[in-house]
Amino acid sequence: MNKLFSILLVLPFLVNAQTAFDKGEAFFKKEQFSKAKLLFQEYLSENPTSDKTREYLGDIEGYAKNWDEALEYYEPLVEQRPNNANYHFKVGGVLGMKALENKLAAITIIDDIKFHFEKAAELDPNHIDARWALVEFYMQLPGIFGGSERKAEKYAAQLQKISAVDGYLAKGYIAEYNDREEDAERYYKQAIKVGGSPHTYEKLSDLYEKQNRGEDALATTSESLQKHKRNRLNYQIGKIVAQYKLNAEKGIAALLAYIENYTIRDGVPKDWAYYRLAQIYKNIGNKQKALQWIDKALASRPDFDEAQDEKEEILSL
C-alpha cells in the first residue's frame, strides 16, 4: 500500500515532465524557439541526463547564432557520447561559424573544427553533411593553415559513393570555387540529370548569373518551375528578368503568380516582388506602373533602401 501511494505521488511529476518535453518538441518543430527553449530548460533541470533535450537546446542557440551557448550544450554531449557522429558534426559546425565571424579566433580553433568534422565522417561512413562540411572547410581554408583542394576532392569522392547527386554538386562547388566554370557547369548539369532537385537547378542557375548568362539562368529556372511547381521559383524568374532586362511579359506573370500564391515559407517577402515588378516596368519605360509598384514596396516597408534608390531612378525617367 505504501509503495502504491509513493508511485501515485511521483506519477503527476513524471507526466508533467514528459509533457514539458513533448510541448517543447512541438514548438521546436513549428520553429517557435523561444517557447520551446523555456520548456526544454524546465525539462532538463529535472532530467539532466536527457541527451535529446540538451541537443534541442544547442540547436535553438545555434539558430539564434549564440555559438558559445550552443557549445555549452553540445560539448558535454560529445564528452558523454564520443562515438556519436552527429554530436561531433554539430560541435564542428558551431566552431566553424565562430571562425567565420572572428578571423583572429579562427586560427586557434581550426584544428578543433577539422577534428570534429573528420571524426563525424569517420564514425558514420554515410554522413553526408560532415563530408560536405569538409569539402567546404578544405576549400576555404588558406593553404598555410592546411587548406587543400586534394583533400576536398577526397571527400567529394566519398560523397559520390554515398549520393551521386551530392558528389556532382561537391565537384561543381570545387570547380566553381577555383573559377573552372566550364567544369562546374558540367558537374551541375550531371547533378540535374541524376537528381533533378530544385537545389541542383538553383546551383546551375546561380552559376549562369555569375557569368552574366541571363538567358541561360532564365531557361534553367523556368525548367525547374515546370518540374517542381515551387512558388519561390516564380520570384526567381521575375528577378532574373528584371536584372537582365529579358522577357518582361514572362517576368511580370511570374511575379504576379508569386504574390498571389505567397506564403511565409516561400522565403522572399512580397515587397521584393513589388520591387522587381517596378524594375521590369522601368526597363520597358512604363513609368506609371513602375511608380505604382515601387510605392507599394515602400508602403509595405518604408525603410526598404533598395526600393528608395529604385524610386529615384524611376522618377528620373
pLDDT band, very low/low/confident/very high, at 182 (cuts 50, 70, 90): very high
Grid coordinates representing 201?
A: 537547378
Are 255 and 276 within 8 A, CB to CB? yes
Are 237 and 217 within 8 A, CB to CB? no
Are 274 and 300 within 8 A, CB to CB? yes
CB atoms within 10 A of CB 183: 15
- pLDDT at 1 > cutoff 80: no
Phi-psi region of 267 (alpha: psi -120 to 50; beta: other; left: phi over 0): left
Query: Model confidence over 51-72: pLDDT tens digits?
Result: 999 999 999 999 999 999 999 9
For the stretch 187-215, what's the b/e string if a residue is b when 16 or more beta carbons lie within 10 angstroms of its beta carbon? bbebbbeebeebebbbbbbbbbbeeebbe
DSSP character for 196?
A: -
pLDDT band, very low/low/confident/very high, at 20 (cuts 50, 70, 90): confident
Q: Cα–Cα distance between 309 and 199 in angstroms, integer?
A: 31
Which CATH superfamily groups domain 147-228?
Tetratricopeptide repeat domain (1.25.40.10)
Nearest alpha-carbon partner for 38 in 51, 18, 20, 19 = 20
pLDDT value, residue 103: 75
Nearest alpha-carbon partner for 137 in 124, 127, 122, 147 = 147
pLDDT value, residue 275: 98
Grid coordinates representing 282?
A: 522601368
Are 137 and 170 within 8 A, CB to CB? no
DSSP character for 262?
A: -
DSSP character for 265?
A: G
H helical segments located in 81-163:
85-101, 103-123, 128-140, 149-162
pLDDT value, residue 143: 63
The percent of residues in the chain predicted with pLDDT above 90, rounded, is 84
Q: Cα–Cα distance between 201 and 221 in angstroms, integer?
A: 7
**Average confidence (pLDDT) over 276-283:** 98
pLDDT band, very low/low/confident/very high, at 14 (cuts 50, 70, 90): very low
Query: For residue 71, how many C-alpha atoms fall within 13 Å in the half-sphere facing its CB?
Result: 14
Determine the longest span between alpha carbons in the chain, in angstroms: 90
**Average confidence (pLDDT) over 36-40:** 93
Query: Model confidence over 230-262: pLDDT tens digits?
Result: 999 999 999 999 999 999 999 999 999 999 999
Q: Cα–Cα distance between 170 and 203 in angstroms, integer?
A: 11
Does an H or E element contain 194, and which? helix 181-194
Backbone torsions φ then ψ of 234, nearest 5 degrees: -60, -40
For residue 40, with 0-12 CB atoms within 10 Å meaning exposed, 13-18 middle and 19 or more buried, which class applies? buried
- Length of the chain measured in residues: 317
Q: Where are the domains of the chain?
A: 147-228
Query: Model confidence over 131-155: pLDDT tens digits?
Result: 999 999 999 887 656 788 999 999 9
